[in-house]
Amino acid sequence: MCDMTRRNLLLAAATGAGWSAADAQELPSGEVNKAALISSGVYFHQGDIEHQGHCNNGWIVFRDYVLVVDANFPSGSQTILPKIRGITPRPIRFAFDTHHHGDHSYGNEFWVENGATPLAHTGVIEEMKRYETGYYGGKPGRWEDAAKSRPDVAASHLSPPTVLFPHELYFDDGEHRVELLHLGIAHTHGDAMAWLPKERVLFTGDACVNGPYNFVGDGDVEKWIGTLDAAKKLGARVVCPGHGPKGDASVLDDQQLFFKQLRERVGALVNSKKSPRAVYQAIPQIRGDFASQPRIARFVDNSGIAAQVEKVYQEMTGKGFPADVKASKAARLLHRHAHAFESA
Ligand SMILES: [Zn+2]
């Protein structure tokens, strides 16, 4: 029972298989590298993005097996395997990649070596074919680039998911039900979420983060807002994001508000026919305004906002920023540690 706190154990004993919103409020949140019991057999683990670039994980203990949400980087998968083993001897049969990014999928090989099958929405393979060109016989892609700075990646191989679902896939043993759902394009073109309708827990992958972690380069901000609408309709009580601490449904609301405001601000500049350079020059103002809004301040980061503004501007006009102020490439490089993005 390695990382479960005494309080969690007491709560688990007290609540049994049942769950109420009040229980969740009792649980500690925001603790990095600790397995948090969300509900009977349902765990959330907040990864160390700061130092190791790890994503968050979840795992669900079914009667006969364990389903892990996100493969993480190889070192992230190695971090959580002993924690799962400390909780249950049941075999880990499935590792669900919420999307194709390295911090969510490069640990697949490790899970395969430990008896699990990586699975994902079909869009994950399409994205891998687009960006993991080295694996598919072309020029070095993102994996090779991540391997330059990450020994854990260099010591392993890309292992794409081998069980694929085009829309949704259900796991249900009567005790637990987990629905893997592709709700639309968001952070990438292959995002899927894990929804637990009984407990009303939603593992979102990076379609929802809780902190300054929104990388928009591979997704579509306009469609992302709609996908978050679909996620909100599920009625989650606990939202386990791809990065940052877990929270309640307001995390989805706030993430969506951030993108809505971004589109509003950039849209106003586009409507008043501002030049790409003028839009770029408006970034400090936008950043300052967002940082003063309690609901969205936590999503603002100094380096990321430029790429976010540029992406929205591109979606609206088809034009990027002038070459001398190009934000997207700089943001990709800055986010490389966390997300294993390519340098090209
Ligand atoms: Zn990601």
DSSP states of 174-219 as a string? SS-EEEEE----SSSSS--EEEETTTTEEEEETTS-SSS----TTS
Q: 191 C-alpha to center of ligand 1: Å?
A: 9
pTM, two decimals, is: 0.88
State residue 137's pLDDT score: 97
Whether residue 182 contacts residue 168, with contact meaning beta carbons closer than 8 Å, is answered with: yes
Q: 30 C-alpha to center of ligand 1: Å?
A: 19
Q: Mind listing the pLDDT tens digit of every residue in the chain (344 residues)?
A: 333 333 333 333 333 333 333 333 333 347 999 999 999 999 999 999 999 999 999 999 999 999 999 999 999 999 999 999 999 999 999 999 999 999 999 999 999 999 999 999 999 999 999 999 999 999 999 999 999 999 999 999 999 999 999 999 999 999 999 999 999 999 999 999 999 999 999 999 999 999 999 999 999 999 999 999 999 999 999 999 999 999 999 999 999 999 999 999 999 999 999 999 999 999 999 999 999 999 999 999 877 899 999 999 999 999 999 888 876 555 555 554 445 443 32
The protein residues having their C-beta less than 5 angstroms from ligand 1 (an ion) are 101, 206
**CB atoms near residue 174 (< 10 Å):** 7
Q: 132 C-alpha to center of ligand 1: Å?
A: 14
Interior/surface letters 127-149, b for 16+ CB within 10 angstroms, e for the rest: bbebbbbbbeeeebbbbbbbbee
State residue 301's pLDDT score: 85
Whether residue 260 contacts residue 306, with contact meaning beta carbons closer than 8 Å, is answered with: no
> 231: closest CA among 180, 262, 193?
193
Q: 206 C-alpha to center of ligand 1: Å?
A: 5
Q: 63 C-alpha to center of ligand 1: Å?
A: 30
Q: 339 C-alpha to center of ligand 1: Å?
A: 6
**CB atoms near residue 91 (< 10 Å):** 12
Q: 271 C-alpha to center of ligand 1: Å?
A: 31
Q: 182 C-alpha to center of ligand 1: Å?
A: 15
How distant, in Å, are the alpha carbons of 183, 185, 216, 327 from that of 189? Answer: 10, 5, 11, 21
State residue 328's pLDDT score: 59
> 310: closest CA among 335, 342, 343, 277?
277
Q: 218 C-alpha to center of ligand 1: Å?
A: 9
Give all strands of the β-sheet with 163-165 in edge-to-edge order. Answer: 35-39, 42-45, 57-61, 66-69, 92-96, 117-121, 163-165
Q: 316 C-alpha to center of ligand 1: Å?
A: 23
Q: 343 C-alpha to center of ligand 1: Å?
A: 16
Q: 296 C-alpha to center of ligand 1: Å?
A: 19
Q: 187 C-alpha to center of ligand 1: Å?
A: 7
Q: 177 C-alpha to center of ligand 1: Å?
A: 25
Q: 155 C-alpha to center of ligand 1: Å?
A: 21
Q: 196 C-alpha to center of ligand 1: Å?
A: 21
State residue 343's pLDDT score: 32
Q: 13 C-alpha to center of ligand 1: Å?
A: 35
Interatomic CA distance for residues 316 and 121, integer angstroms = 28
Q: 219 C-alpha to center of ligand 1: Å?
A: 10
Q: 281 C-alpha to center of ligand 1: Å?
A: 27
